Amino acid sequence: MSLRHQVFTLGLFLTSVLFVRAVPNSADADYAAFISLSQERPSETLQAEGAAKVVTWVDKNRHELAAAGLAFYNTYPADPRRWEVVLVLAKQPPLFVQSIGPDVETRGMAAVVVDEDAKQAWTKKIEQLTDSLIASPEVTVALREQAEWLRLFKDFLAAQEKGTKEGPGDFGPFLQRFMAHIEKYAALDVVVNRASSFLDQFDRCVPGAGEKAWRQLGSAGNAALRKKAADQLSFLAELSRPLDLTFTAVDGREVDLQRLRGKVVLIDFWATWCGPCVAELPDLKRVYAAYHEKGFEIIGVALQQTKLKPGDSPAEIATKLAKARKVLADFITTQAMPWPQYLSEKAGPNEISTRFNIQFIPAKFLLDQEGRVVSTNTTGEMLEQEVKRLLKL
């Protein structure tokens, strides 16, 4: 072979190597596209157009995500990332929207009519894939824990919703499943967050059960969980004493719980972006109008998205706060909410909701005339009944 031919052959080889390296792996590209799709959120412009637009956008995005996820799972049967894809699909199912009612702004998803047959078919498919994930020997302990937890919590929320419609059910088995899950995955620090989110919800279904569970977790195998249990029990002890809280509301009013002793007070943790919170407003306004003159007060703690960051300049802080205040003030005016509202003006978590260990919204603390918490789960007709009882009406 001539030198010229050898050089030509070597050139072809190097060119082919460079070409192969320049072309991205198809699985990598498809996975990246899937993750990008899962992280998309409706723009602020779209959100400003109303809840109906947002629901439509989310449903379309979730259908695209489902198609991309199933395609990845079927196209790359040996790629371990397919299990991560399954978990994302389980967390972000399509909404299967058929129609959206005109009252979606106030009722949230309750105003959306869904295709139940399509929803059930999808649920069955995801359950099968989740079973395969849990059974797969190649799945990491952390990923398996996520899948098992997601199933447990979804089952619990479904039972909770059923109980709301049909009356109280038996939640004991869920507490047993929770404790077994915590024991099984005690080596993972994620169990601390699992305990907080579950027991907060569980206590709403079975008042007082959360405290008993935290006492059990005081001897858990996870050190971080033991500390969380001690902190939680300390917090519950604080709730047994009259609460103190002072702040300046967004409209300039000074709020001081000590000055409200002798009145029944509801502390409402909510946000304008929270559909369930907005859906509860009609009941709140009705009870307030009926009993305010008789000694009932409401204090709002709005968990608005101010988007403040630790490194923001004074000008950026002022601009972001002004925008958040306007969104809140406009909403309060439109909805005719006469009670004072707190808005955090600091970067990071809302200090009041953090102090009171708020894990989900809406959340409501009902205080008696001495300032003691008598309920952390009082809504609708139950709220009116409790207010009347405390006011002795």
The 10s digit of each residue's pLDDT in 226-242 is 888 888 888 788 777 88
Pairing mode of beta strands 254-256, 264-270: unpaired
Which is more confident, 354 or 370?
370
For residue 164, what pLDDT is reported? Answer: 59
Q: Is the pLDDT of residue 386 over 70?
A: yes
Q: Is the pLDDT of residue 293 over 70?
A: yes
Q: Looking at residues 331-340, what average pLDDT do you find?
A: 90
Pairing mode of beta strands 97-100, 112-114: antiparallel
Q: Looking at residues 65-71, what average pLDDT do you find?
A: 96
Q: How does residue 1 score in pLDDT terms, banded at 50, 70 and 90? A: very low
CA distance 276 to 285: 15
CA distance 341 to 248: 8
pTM: 0.66
At a CB cut-off of 8 Å and minimum separation 6, what does 48 contact? none
pLDDT in tens, 3-22: 444 444 444 444 444 343 44
Question: Which two three-digit tokens encode residue 240?
Answer: 């047994």
Question: Which two three-digit tokens encode residue 219?
Answer: 């001897």
CA distance 150 to 83: 14
At a CB cut-off of 8 Å and minimum separation 6, what does 350 contact? 301, 303, 344, 358
pLDDT in tens, 43-57: 878 887 888 898 999
Question: Which two three-digit tokens encode residue 93?
Answer: 């199912």
Q: Looking at residues 17-42, what average pLDDT do you find?
A: 77
Q: Looking at residues 244-253, what average pLDDT do you find?
A: 88
Burial of 329 (0-12, 13-18, 19+ CB in 10 A): middle
CA distance 279 to 361: 12
For residue 110, what pLDDT is reported? Answer: 80
For residue 17, what pLDDT is reported? Answer: 41
Strand partners for 206: none
At a CB cut-off of 8 Å and minimum separation 6, what does 321 contact? 306, 308, 343, 345
Question: Which two three-digit tokens encode residue 152?
Answer: 């447990």
Q: How does residue 24 score in pLDDT terms, banded at 50, 70 and 90? A: low
Q: Is the pLDDT of residue 371 over 60?
A: yes
CA distance 71 to 66: 8
Question: Which two three-digit tokens encode residue 245?
Answer: 């809280």
What rounded mean pLDDT belongs to the chain?
84
Residue type, 155: D
Which is more confident, 176 or 10?
176
- State which H helix or E strand residue 287 sits in: helix 281-291
Long-range contacts of 111-117 (CB under 8 A, 24+ apart): 112/55
Query: How far apart, in Å, do the first and last CA atoms of the chain sit?
Result: 106
Pairing mode of beta strands 296-302, 341-343: parallel
For residue 64, what pLDDT is reported? Answer: 96
Residue given tokens 């001081």 in the structure block = 256
For residue 351, what pLDDT is reported? Answer: 77
pLDDT in tens, 183-205: 999 999 899 989 888 887 787 77
Q: Is the pLDDT of residue 278 over 50?
A: yes
Measured at the CA of 89, the angle between CA 88 and CA 91, to 5 degrees, comes to: 65
Residues above pLDDT 90, as percent of the chain? 41
pLDDT in tens, 251-276: 889 999 999 999 999 999 988 888 78
Domains and CATH numbers, the chain: 1-139 (no CATH), 141-240 (no CATH), 246-390 (3.40.30.10)
- What's the chain's length in residues? 393
Give exposure, 255-275, as e/b (b: 16+ Cβ within 10 Å).
Answer: bebeebeebbbbbbbbbbbbb
DSSP 171-221: -HHHHHHHHHHHHHTTTSTTHHHHHHHHHHHHHHHSTTHHHHHHHHHTT-S
For residue 15, what pLDDT is reported? Answer: 42
